[in-house]
Amino acid sequence: MIQAIKARWPDVLLQFEDFAQKNAMPLLNRYRNEICSFNDDIQGTAAVTVGTLIAASRGAGSQLSEQKIVFLGAGSAGCGIAEQIIAQIVREGLSEEEARQRVFMVDRFGLLTDGMPNLLPFQNKLVQKREQLQSWDTTSEALSLLDVVRNVKPNILIGVSGQPGLFTEEIIREMHKHCPRPIVMPLSNPTSRVEATPQNILSWTDGEALVATGSPFSPVTVKGKQYPIAQCNNSYIFPGIGLGVIASGASRVTDEMLMAASETLAQHSPLVNNGEGPVLPELKDIQTVSRAIAFAVGKVAQEQGVAVKTSAEALLQAISDNFWLPEYRNYRRTSI
């Protein structure tokens, strides 16, 4: 099918959507350098999450490279996010080895470590070495999420498990004990599967956590103060990436283009720009954000040689020319 699409529409932007976990990453890796293609579940989710984390880190007065990150859920989406985080940490100055030592993946069998049976190919580079965990305070062979939080003392906790309630009060309080302003992101959809509700997270941390969710939640009030909840939704990212690719005529979607999208999203954070408010801009501002992301993506595509070099003015005009509103025209009768 891919070959047929390529033959019929050689300049197509192909978006992979809702592929099974065992197929999603292999298909993306197989075709991303053959045809202009993009997996929103992996790359879109990763880009919006990294953009959110860049903004949240800056809002807390630090950089992403200074954080320690724990994931609950190590499927293709979670590992895709982790790899994009590692790329951003390297971009901020750490080596790849140092970056990987700051990311911890937990699945239903516990922390991913070397020597575990039945690891999937995309999980292999995200394991921690058992020999480096000898000093951990635990008596369990399978290292649970609580074990990991207690010993790693993370700044960031991300949930992509699809299982509700796994960010327990004990886990969140343990995290808050070592991190005055934890970043907690229960990203599982729908709301019935969220790892913890924003209300609970903020109550357990006395309102000091920065929270972003995968599902929409209303603002939360703790001790008389209202906290807006950012929704870490792919809709912040993929329209701008698609628009940037089409407007620039890019032949590929590169990792650097995705990182440019993440950085641009972070630059539009009310928390970063105003010192308060939600981590992400309101969805009503999505057109402004998408235009900015499209320009950043198109510019990087030109710099990398996967799009023809033009002036900034020409790229902006191409973005405007490809921007449209989903509106019906006024009815006009043409015959009697």
114 annotated among ligand-binding-site residues: no
Burial of 277 (0-12, 13-18, 19+ CB in 10 A): middle
The 3-class SS string of 124-152 reads HHHCECHHHHCCCCCCCCCCCHHHHHHHH
Instruction: Report which of 248, 234, 233 is spatially closest to residue 13, judged by C-alpha positions.
Output: 248
Which phi-psi region, left, alpha or beta, contains residue 115 (left: φ > 0; alpha: ψ -120 to 50)? left
Say whether 123 sits in a helix, a strand or coil.
Answer: helix
Given a contact cutoff of 8 angstroms between Cβ atoms, the answer to whether 120 and 22 are in contact is yes
41 annotated among ligand-binding-site residues: yes
Give me the sign of the Cα torsion angle 194, 199, 200, 204: positive
Cβ atoms within 10 Å of 78's Cβ, excluding its own: 28
189 annotated among ligand-binding-site residues: yes
200 annotated among ligand-binding-site residues: no
11 annotated among ligand-binding-site residues: no
State the number of CA atoms in the 13 A half-sphere of 105 facing the CB: 29
Cβ atoms within 10 Å of 68's Cβ, excluding its own: 16
Instruction: Show binding-site residues.
Output: 17-18, 41, 189, 233
**Binding site, annotated residues for a divalent metal cation:** 17-18, 41
- As annotated, the binding site for (S)-malate includes 189, 233
